[in-house]
Amino acid sequence: METADFSHHISRRFNEDLERVRNKVLSMGGMVEQQLEKAVTALIEGDSALGEAVARDDYRVNAMEVSIDEECSRILATRAPAAGDLRLIVAIIKTITDLERIGDEAEKIAYIASRLASMERPPDRYREVKHIARLVAQMLHDALDAFARIDAEAALKVARQDQAVDEEYEAIQRQSITFMMEDPRTISRVLDVMWIVRALERIGDHAKNIGEYVIYMAHGRDVRHTSLDDVERELRELESRAPRR
């Protein structure tokens, strides 16, 4: 994975501080990706033990958030970063909050998967969940990759992927309501599936947030609550004004 270069400071230790904290964020992101993958696997395979293990491991994600937050506070206090460096630290603090919340959603999925493991699995083996889970996992991976490279264009693509996740979520909700109306015996299981799909949709939202922080790091532009078309136009304008290398 190509990564951004932070070797522009006179202070070698400042470079090392920035690189270390950025690498910690990527490590935390990798851990969260694994938690999500394992939680979905626990559901699909009916593996109660795996679901419980994922839920128990959430403390590791929480500990990493605290560690990175403390590191950022130390850098702010001792280095007084400005301009792009300050944006980087602010974006990191926001990013780890979203990663921690993704971990919470994965924990929720794992708990429900553990409970569903004692029930008879549907014939399609949760096909609808597998599809939206793949979309969300790809969003998260792409958001972390955009963060590693501080790639605003890639981050914008992540934000656009969120629409497909939302559409899939709404389709599954409608389908689930139909299932419960047709066979009331499925209500308990279908409600649990709806909670899982809701958790996956929220993970997509958090991945989109991380993409927005990448755009902020790259250009100093807060694009929250801004339409994606407007963001894309602004990025093109900024690119056209950038000096040619």
DSSP for 198-230, written as a single string: HHHHHHHHHHHHHHHHHHHHHHS---TTS-HHH
- Tokens 């889970």 locate to 133
On whether the CB atoms of residues 189 and 115 are closer than 8 A, the answer is no
On whether the CB atoms of residues 160 and 242 are closer than 8 A, the answer is no
| Chain length of the chain | 245
pLDDT recorded at residue 2: 44
User: Exposed e or buried b for every residue in 42-53, given b needs 16+ CB within 10 A?
Assistant: bbeebbbebbbe
For the entire predicted model, the pTM comes to 0.88
Q: To the nearest 5 percent, what fractions of the chain are helix, strand and coil?
A: 85, 0, 15
pLDDT recorded at residue 11: 65
Residue 163: phi and psi, rounded to 5, are -65, -40
Along the chain (245 residues), what's the average pLDDT of each consecutive run of 10 residues? Answer: 48 82 96 97 93 94 96 91 88 97 97 88 78 96 96 92 94 92 87 95 97 90 75 71 57
- Rounded-to-integer distance, Cα 14 and Cα 131, Å: 43
Other residues' Cβ atoms within 10 Å of the Cβ of residue 216: 20
Q: What is the full DSSP assignment across 150-207? A: T-HHHHHHHHHHHHHHHHHHHHHHHHHHHHHHH-GGGHHHHHHHHHHHHHHHHHHHHH
Which numeric CATH code is attached to 12-241? 1.20.58.220
pLDDT recorded at residue 231: 72
